[in-house]
Structure 1
Amino acid sequence: MVEPDTIRLLRECDAGIKMGIASIDDVVDYVHHEKLRKCLTDCKEEHDKLQQEIEKLLAKYHDDGKEPSIMAKGMSWIKTNVKLVMKESDHTIADLMTDGCNMGIKFLRKYLNEYKAAEEKAKDIAKRLINIEEKLTLEIREFL
């Protein structure tokens, strides 16, 4: 069924974007190198733009979107803060962000496979989000 799959895929993209934005917000104040800071802020801007697009589509279906799970947010926050307390460095931040991007990519690909009947516009958004995540992992490799 097209509509339920479309809504489900958009909701997962919405939750993923919110998780990505929160993760960037959690680490950006600890960044030392300006190039890494720019990579993260540019990525956040791309997430913000895509989120607006998702919200418009979800509104069309009278859906409020989806928040990341409390467990996922909590575990991410704990991991980020423990690692930064142990070693506050651009390497640590790049490592955390790479792990987060890889997890996001994995789940988005899973949802693309799971919600095959979703409209092409929703699939396109998921693919664009995957591309944003892949681009960030490439850009921050030098800090690993």
Structure 2
Amino acid sequence: MNSTHAIVFMTIKSMAQSVGGCGFLQLSARLKCVSGLNTVILAKAIKRFRVAKGITQVELGIRSGFDPKTISRYETGEYVPTIEAVYKFAEILGVPVKAFFTDFESEIEQRAFLFEVIRNADAEELKRLVDLIGKARKTPKI
């Protein structure tokens, strides 16, 4: 594990301990939470960020070196990715590692996530986001 991975590991360990009071298990460098809360948050986040980036499980698998079935299992929580895999996903999907452990149930977290996505979007992604938001709105754009 290099120094960057060590920093990420410590950050994830700290977040895992603070979210839902769950403990962090280091066994096999796997991210696991005794209650399963972090595993669920992580699984949902992998899918959310992949879909937001507009790539398929196959494409994420190719870019990360994992079989698409493994990506599917990560997204359902059946498998828990290693810290190295989470770091790789963060790099591919263009999000900070800590975003994989944020519970997006609160309105504040949802707004912060959207602002971050918009702020980091390139021109093509921004156009796609505007189109998606326009379609999702209940009232037509003015």
TM-score if structure 2 supplies the norm length?
Answer: 0.32
| Greater helix content | 1
Higher relative contact order (CA 8 A, sep 6+): 1
